[in-house]
Structure 1
Amino acid sequence: MNEKVYLYQIAYSEETLKGVEPGYLILNNLENSRPDWREYWPIRQHLLAHDLNEDAFFGFLSPKFPNKTLLTYEQTKQLVMSAADRADVILFSPQPDMGSFFLNVFEQGEIFDPGFINAFEAFLEQVGHRVKLNNLVMDSRNIVFSNFFVARPAFWKAWLEICEKFFVLCEGPASDLQRMLIQSTSYEAGVQRKVFILERIASYLLATQPSWRVVASNPFQFAWSGPATRFREFPDEAVISDALKIAFREQRYSEYIQVYSRLRQRCFGQNSVVSSTNGSFVAITGQNKTNQFCGKSVEDGCLRQVVKNYKIVTDIPTMSKEYQFGGDSAANKFIIGHLFPNEITPKIVLDIGMGVGSLGMLINQSPQLRRWIVDGIDGFNETCCNVSLFNKGIYRNVWHGMAQDLSLERLITYDVLCLFDVIEHLSPEAATNLLRTLLSSLGDHSLLVISTPLWFYPQYHQKDGDLEEHLIGISIQSMMDMKPIMYCIGNSSLVGNFVYSKKSILYIDNFNPITDKSFSIDKGTEQVLSLGLHIDNKVYIV
């Protein structure tokens, strides 16, 4: 393909202007009116002022690009052109050891700037992206350092959209969040945290939106980290670490991450991994921070465990008359018996929004499924006080809290994740983020089962904190566009039940919740029938 490639190099001084290699276009930042924003300022100015050719690739690279990648202009252009027919984004990310020895670029940022992840997550939540960054596993196929990437305009638009939301927060009225985002770091002359958050926006988009087609140039041929760290002392281990993360993301076998963690610990032990030097970050030392780096499991945050290994492990006040154990769903839970028709190996199930425990009891009472193991989680405190249910030994583990707070290391241990009548209780953003998290955790043979009314079913709180109100409606089109492998639709309340594999993460952007309360059962039924689907409580393979 004869793709057009526009490669700009940023010039912020006469010296950097003179150093621009012939072939590069000049991104003029000689006035350098906002040095606090570093590269983002000239890139922003250009993207806001120009319409990009939709059929071309664009890169906006710092003067350090040639030294960090060891590439000439012509080599860079040829690499872009050779990948153009299969890519939306082409990466030229240096420092492969930094990318390999951390689970993701956010953990790497946290090591050098404690509080980085909390600040990033607070920003994401502010703009409707509730994501647990510690749960993201990233490898050389979606890691971007220094904004060294070349992309089609569609990606630049997505990048600019979230960056501008960040820019507005940093430039707007003073707030606690703003103070977190613009906090000075120990890099050079106190460069603000906002610069390093923006440098990770591209990585964030690639990690959470897998529909982007990415081609990564071999990072191990680029410059490694400087002498301020010990990472470059372990080149073979860096390559192996990246390969283990790639294998985990493809297969979801927990053994890959376990070996990865042990490898990190063998390399760095209990010693500091960063040393202090002029112009670099201050050393990160001390047992707590080093242990975090060396691969200790990220604990399930914001959760209270109520049952552990079939035993109640927390005090539950004996006020049974005041507890109201409700929250059963209208789902056709029998669909779970169709998931693995030819397998006899027991499965491990997570019942999200477990309510009165009807799914656990169904599994426990089924001759076909009774050897399965069931864990539960629920956000309503009273549900997690059901001593009678817990004493029956049906649920192995039970947590009070939100499923989004379960660690990736725990989620990947399940064969089946069940969301029976849960997503309609969430905001559009929360529902989308939860589905994204759960689908991202699936392995080759694990499944996500979702049930939800296929209309805006009016339901309200019965008491404070019960999470019973319905906030969204879900259309059949939205559920089918995520490519389920089987479905079942009930004929009483038009509740749909859908089974998804890990491939559905590619279609998560098709999930479009409805907030219009006039989306009635009649409209929902009409949509189902228009797609030629059945409303008869039977399970169909798609």
Structure 2
Amino acid sequence: MSAVAPHIRIFQIHYHPEQVAQLDPAFVAYDNTGDSSPLLEFNVFRKIAASGLAEGVDLWGALSWKFSQKTGLSGQELINTIRVNPGYDVYFCNPFPETEALFHNLWCQGETAHPDFLNLSFDFLQAAGLPTASLDELSPSWLFAAANYFVATPDFWQNYLRFVGDALAQAQANLLPPARIVLFSSLADPRSMHAEASYLPFIIERLFGLFLILHGDKYKAFKYLAREADTPAPNEHLKTLSAIKDKAIATQDNWLAGCWLNYCRTYVALVHGRAWARQTHATAMPTRLQLCGAPPMVHSQSEVEEHVGH
């Protein structure tokens, strides 16, 4: 007797009428016109959870109207991936695989896009009563998750939303006034690439990985792969860099981690230029190598496909 297919409902968020034509028919359109919350997608998650729109489903999510543009996947392809890989509590993606190869972790990557991101993130995590070690740790590629492209069980959502909500409340209560002002400011978006967003959504985005670290023993996670879309597919150097870093963490090998760092610096200087390497990339990297001690087990689509191939 075949297993019953999970009931999946994935919403697709749009903010303007002209975006409707770009929505995927496999998703449920979610009109977020007029919502000016600085929390961006996280506020949508909370509204959906509170509204009852996701009642009775096994898995749900709310993705950007740019989902296909960023991942190269159609809505039906995502749903099919979930259905052929059943039994997980959360399915997530990182549409920017280059970051997995070239940065210690996503917090460090944030420093290259949002001024003084690491210092503010440290203040935020400390004020929220959360561990700050993840800001410096060398994290495995399977912990990188950007753009809030995840679909999860109601139980996962309930606990994740509570986790982030508690962190926000604690941080706002305990942050010093100057840091709180910066947190809500548009200084996070100096190039106006994110509609002058504050630091909040970029910090929240990275709390997903921290949630997996802290609660990975409770939830089974599956990382699905983006295809080449807006972001070029990783070349052989990037694939090798990710593999070296992951191996160093898995074996707790500091020498191998040092090899990754030297290779990474050389690649960045050659591809992005020495000026960017010195002035931007280097300043975002911790001064010492600290391996992520016990990362949660996350199954990736590449691992599953490799196993099936054999």
* TM-score, normalised via structure 1 length: 0.48
Which shows bigger deviation, 116-125 or 284-293? 284-293
Q: 1:70 aligns with which of 53, 69, 72?
A: 72
CA deviations over 1:388-417 (Å, ceiling 9, x no partner):
xxxxxxxxxxxxxxxxxxx626xxxxxxxx
Cα distance, 1:8–1:49 mapped onto 2, change above 3 Å: same
Shift of 1:162: 2.8
Shift of 1:174: 8.2
Distance 1:29 1:154 in 2: 24
- 1:324-473 mapped onto 2 (5 Å cutoff): 408=290, 441=293
CA deviations over 1:359-405 (Å, ceiling 9, x no partner):
xxxxxxxxxxxxxxxxxxxxxxxxxxxxxxxxxxxxxxxxxxxxxxx
8 Å contact 1:272–1:290 — kept in the other structure? no
Shift of 1:35: 5.3
Q: In the alignment, which residue of structure 2 is the partner of 1:156?
A: 157
Distance 2:63 2:84 in 1: 19
Q: Which has the higher helix share?
A: 2
Q: In the alignment, which residue of structure 2 is the partner of 1:13?
A: 16
Distance 1:270 1:75 in 2: 36
Q: In the alignment, which residue of structure 1 is the partner of 2:181?
A: 179
Cα distance, 1:153–1:266 mapped onto 2, change above 3 Å: same
Shift of 1:153: 1.8
Q: 1:46 aligns with which of 45, 48, 53?
A: 48
Shift of 1:8: 0.7
Larger Rg: 1
1:196 aligns with 2:196: no
* Secondary structure at 1:61 match in 2: strand
Q: What is the Cα-based RMSD across aligned positions, in Å?
A: 3.1
Shift of 1:130: 2.6
Amino acid in the other structure paired with 1:148: Y
8 Å contact 1:37–1:195 — kept in the other structure? yes
8 Å contact 1:91–1:148 — kept in the other structure? yes
Q: What number of residue pairs does the alignment pair up? A: 288
Distance 1:202 1:120 in 2: 14
Distance 1:130 1:68 in 2: 31
Q: In the alignment, which residue of structure 2 is the partner of 1:268?
A: 268
Greater RCO structure (CA 8 Å; 6+ sep): 2
8 Å contact 2:124–2:171 — kept in the other structure? no
Q: Unmatched 5+ residue regions in structure 1? A: 226-231, 275-283, 300-406, 410-439, 442-501, 507-542
8 Å contact 1:140–1:242 — kept in the other structure? yes
Q: In the alignment, which residue of structure 2 is the partner of 1:79?
A: 81
Distance 2:206 2:57 in 1: 25
- 1:195-344 mapped onto 2 (5 Å cutoff): 195-211=201-217, 212-219=219-226, 221-223=227-229, 225=231, 235-269=235-269, 285=276, 287=278, 289-292=280-283, 298-299=287-288
Distance 2:210 2:119 in 1: 15
* Secondary structure at 1:141 match in 2: helix
Which shows bigger deviation, 242-251 or 264-273? 264-273
Shift of 1:9: 0.4
Q: Percent identity?
A: 18
Shift of 1:52: 4.8
Distance 1:57 1:160 in 2: 15
Distance 1:268 1:287 in 2: 10
Distance 1:48 1:120 in 2: 28
Distance 2:20 2:254 in 1: 49
Q: In the alignment, which residue of structure 1 is the partner of 2:116?
A: 115
Cα distance, 1:216–1:161 mapped onto 2, change above 3 Å: same
Distance 1:74 1:286 in 2: 39
Q: Unmatched 5+ residue regions in structure 2? A: 298-310
